Copies of this chain bind each other. A is one copy, B any other.
């Protein structure tokens, strides 16, 4: 596996770097970003938080806007942010912002014209961690988080693979995609009209039936324009009470769907993951 370094910026004593590589899973070139905390310069191996972004985003939104590097540096935690879909001129796309490039929904598509490239579930679960763990000074301790479509992706990946993640969190996740317009549109396109096949990508359905648990933290702004129609965290809450899932769901008064909301609470999410990833509280 060869990867190409695209940029490097020192940040809070560590390094923010962007890379591109040829993804076998997705059949295209992909870009990702990694934050490496200061400790790696001294030969430390650090655990990794994977961050999945929302609709229209790339690897850059979280790294530039979330203000996450400060506490990641302190905790000694790497953060990896992949892109949100396959990309390229030969990759299927759609004119709308919520389907196609920038809107991969972290599923493995089965339908035309999407299935040759749209396999973000496999990419984030397998190919990307294998690449990260072969190239960078990281351990195999992983947690996962994300925002909106990425919050959906993080929850689904952790719920289906509890042995692979130490903890999971989400901001404003699409909690019950089989029941919301964004989810119905994307799943119909990527997975087909048989709604029975959608269940394996629905966090609320997966959490309801879960028997193996990953500690889970969700934050949701109560002034989020997408709350009622698209996000539906109450479905997740209901499922958690059925399966006794260890879910902490916080409603935050006055906060919206933006990165200002994420920045306001990202420190708490990083410290939550840090506890399960074995980070010391002061490592900078």
Contact = CB atoms under 8 A, between A and B. Distances in A.
A255 B64 contact: no
A70 B9 CA distance: 22
A263 interface: yes
Given A69-B263, A263-B69, A9 B256 contact: yes
Contacts of A65: 64-65
Chain A binding site: helix, strand, loop or mixed by DSSP? mixed
Contacts of A260: 9-11, 16, 69
A114 interface: no
Contact of A67 (B67, B221, B258): B67
The copy count of this chain in the complex is: 2
A261 interface: yes
B223 A264 contact: no
A64 B259 contact: yes
B254 A12 contact: no
Contacts of A67: 67, 70, 263
A10 B255 contact: yes
Nearest to A7: B258
Scoring A9, A258, A259, A264 by chain B CB atoms within 10 A of each residue's CB, the highest score goes to A9
A11 B264 contact: yes
A116 interface: no
A13 interface: yes
Nearest to A223: B10
Contacts of A13: 264
